[in-house]
Amino acid sequence: DAGVIQSPRHEVTEMGQEVTLRCKPISGHNSLFWYRQTMMRGLELLIYFNNNVPIDDSGMPEDRFSAKMPNASFSTLKIQPSEPRDSAVYFCASSLDGSGGAGEQFFGPGTRLTVL
């Protein structure tokens, strides 16, 4: 298996531009997670989906952030408009959850976003 695939790996953009990050989870996994990692705030869960449905988006910083999962093999995280404080590494992770709680999460390599 190719693992979790994220694109792009690096993104440099200017303040005010729209940014779209993409994720392909591991085939057969039914949960997908978006995280943000910064030196100041560490690893933060932004949103997670189960069976393509958003379950918890309480970590999404503000309305400028949105995430979709149109099917089991693809998800996007969009920032519009972007701001310099959005600069971070964004990780996507997927897991196969049975009943009773979280299974192991498999992380992608991350997208390093720099907003100038």
Partner 1 sequence: GNSVTQMEGPVTLSEEAFLTINCTYTATGYPSLFWYVQYPGEGLQLLLKATKADDKGSNKGFEATYRKETTSFHLEKGSVQVSDSAVYFCALSGRTGKLIFGQGTTLQVKP
Nearer Cβ to partner 1 (76/81):
76
Q: How far apart are CA 13 and CA 84, in angstroms?
A: 9
Residue for token pair 């189960």:
50
Q: How far apart are CA 64 and CA 22, in angstroms?
A: 17
The CB-of-109 to partner 1 minimum distance in angstroms stands at: 5
Residue for token pair 């932004």:
46
Nearer Cβ to partner 1 (81/114):
114
Q: Are 50 and 33 in contact (CB under 8 A)?
A: no
Residues in region 33-62 near partner 1 by CB under 8 A: 33, 42-43, 45, 48, 50, 55-56
Which span sits near partner 1 by CB under 8 A: 12-20, 61-69, 78-86, 100-108?
Answer: 100-108
The CB-of-81 to partner 1 minimum distance in angstroms stands at: 27
Q: How far apart are CA 65 and CA 79, in angstroms?
A: 5
Q: Is residue 116 close enough to count as binding partner 1 by CB under 8 A?
A: no
